Chain A
């Protein structure tokens, strides 16, 4: 590294303006990415799975939600390669005759959607509270950080379960099918905000005493604009790492809650719901109904975890 390649956080004020793409192609980040085979494989797997989930309606051989396409006569057909298998169903069918591969693709869609939405929710909430906490300080800071500390004593999964239960108690009389996913997203998001808030607060405390913030304050810019426009871009680096690792956690949490039967309703099965359904058939020998969705979930989470691990090491200047 003898040339003056810009670092990821980017403080290249003196350089001639280059396009973002050119800067990216020349960065340490790309180099470190390409030199780790495991990471490239993990990224490839993640992208393939996400695309498959996104385009599930185009790729999947069947639509598991279309009642006209499923027949109970096709129920519990084993995957290809086993006795009694059917060439139409690559991974076999579940108890209602739905194609398992299609079910997994559609299920991954819901798992990923809940994962992304709850991470976004947690990030927005955590970043806002962290910014306010760090920038305003004083009593506001003390209150927010006390709440965070209290929440940290409980494992996220327990909190998500509780919030889900409470939300269903409060909104008990409304339509469960449409709202379950949003309630779930809300519960998972709410149980993960603390980490963002603590990290952002820490870096805000550092940034707030720098000259550019003081200059902005001197010329009379209101506090909320300073926070959003000046401080925020400079504290976002570590947030990306937390978000990636949290995505894997959020997917696991969603799957767990759905497996426990408090997550998404079985009319819109996520991977966790599929595993719960399959669990009932484990003893009668139909192992594929639970095992294939479980493997899909495990591969997805492992790939995202590996990406997160790499990102953490790559963005951490201490390890360079």
Chain B
């Protein structure tokens, strides 16, 4: 158990090291940082002086360690387009993305789990069949098109909900603006959160359905029934509990994709988060932002993967011997 966890942590560190290396190479060698910082009329001598001052003439290894040390202290250099520290730019937009991801994860879980249980228990009811076919269509529709359809129906045609922005935000402390405390903020988050969470919801539903079908055939469910327990406690206590292991894993891993897919949703709904910032950086080849975003998302993904891996083994004792060796 301990060996397994330490191996996983070592693996995570290796991944982070590789990502840091890639993001440093990007930062240093794609596009010339000096060219981006000075005007056309700067003389070669001035350029050389700046080069010296930024430490770009030091050995590459020294520069790499300086970059990593900086990154650990949230210093990712200055953005080419905004001429501001990347950490500030990202820090200001992180709350918006995290709130959106959180809301959509909640939506996916709150709807996905009951729908999965229902379709698993009532295989042949028309409602189950409808859920399943709708979910197939949902998977085939690209996220951005779902967003556009939502805007078309709920904002343009019915005019129920706003189609862009976060609404009014309330400052919590110095760096966290929340949209959860105002009516307009809550209204604004509904459409983006559903758009973002829809794919995860169908995934969770299908997963729970498959697991339920499996679990309902096992002996302990038969015995629970034989003991005369009411259906509700058989379904929700004995059956659902046993489907939770894969659900936790997949949901955890999906949290990472939610952050990645937030780029698309944020673009459709003009949500002022990290995703839009990253997209602008890609379009304008703003390497410091790209490198920092790469590092940050890699860290989030690796961290989630690590937690999920450990949880997996903690929850399911059967896996301990098997996976401990892998």
User: Chain A: residues with CB nearer than 8 A to chain B?
Assistant: 146, 150, 153-155, 157-158, 161-162, 164-166, 168-170, 172, 248, 252, 255-256, 259-262, 275, 279, 282-283, 285, 287, 290-291, 294, 297-298, 301-302, 305-306
Contact = CB atoms under 8 A, between A and B. Distances in A.
A209 B292 CA distance: 46
A62 B282 CA distance: 34
Nearest to A156: B260
B38 to A, nearest CB: 18
Interface in B142-160: 142-145, 148-149, 151-152, 156
Nearest to B294: A162
A153 B140 CA distance: 23
Contacts of A294: 145, 148-149
Nearest to A283: B156
Contacts of A302: 136-137, 140
Interface of B: 14-15, 18-19, 26, 30-31, 136-137, 139-145, 148-149, 151-152, 156, 163, 256-257, 260-261, 263-264, 267-268, 278-279, 281-283, 285, 287, 290, 294, 297-298, 301-302, 305
B301 A262 contact: no
Given A150-B18, A262-B282, A282 B156 contact: yes
A169 B305 contact: no
A140 B305 CA distance: 25
A260 B264 contact: yes
Contacts of A248: 140
Contacts of A290: 148, 152
B145 A158 contact: no
A154 B301 contact: yes
Nearest to B290: A165
A165 B151 contact: no
Contacts, number: 113
A168 B290 CA distance: 12
Nearest to B141: A298
A261 B283 contact: yes
B256 A287 contact: no
Given A259-B267, A275-B144, A298-B140, 5 more contacts: A153-B301, A155-B257, A260-B267, A294-B145, A297-B142
A261 to B, nearest CB: 6
Contacts of A301: 140-142
Contacts of B257: 155
Given A153-B302, A256-B143, A294-B145, A172 B285 contact: yes
Contacts of B301: 153-154
A256 B282 CA distance: 14
6 contacts: A150-B19, A153-B305, A154-B298, A155-B257, A282-B156, A302-B136
A305 to B, nearest CB: 5
A260 B302 contact: no
Most buried by B among A165, A169, A294, A298: A165
Given A162-B294, A168-B285, A302-B137, A157 B261 contact: yes
B148 A275 contact: yes
A89 B56 CA distance: 59
A154 B152 contact: no
Contact of B142 (A154, A162, A256, A283): A256
